[in-house]
Amino acid sequence: MKYHLRNLVVSLLIVLTTWGCAHDKNKSATSHKAVQMPLVINIDGDGSLAIAKQPCPADQFSSRLAKLPDSRVRPVVIEADERAPHSKVKEVMDACKTAGFQQVSLKSVK
């Protein structure tokens, strides 16, 4: 009886240890994704731009985007005023694509 109980306890320890290691790997992978906060780009009604709440002249926009790290994994949210010129929104989206950002979403703001 003691022999069977000991085997059961050892088996449970092996299973729990293996599950715990796999669980930790998945946890670190998801926590890495959670660290990536979206980059917010604002387009005002007059077409003026801001990157992460910092005003940005239109002629410097593409170069500033290109200098940002993690462009392949960092999501971008473009918050465009509903009065913003559509051509400006398209320019911003194209600049994000050129800079290497792969996850770009658009949000209309009143």
CB-CB neighbours of 108 under 10 Å: 11
> pLDDT tens for residues 93-105?
999 999 999 999 9
Question: pTM here?
Answer: 0.67
- For 58-104, write each residue's pLDDT tens digit: 999 999 998 888 777 899 999 999 999 999 999 999 999 999 999 99
Can you give the pLDDT at residue 91?
95
Q: How many CA atoms lie within 13 A of 99 on its CB side?
A: 26
- Tell me, what's the pLDDT at 13? 64
Q: Convert the pLDDT of each residue in 3-53 to its tens digit.
A: 566 666 666 666 556 555 544 454 544 444 445 789 999 999 999 999 999
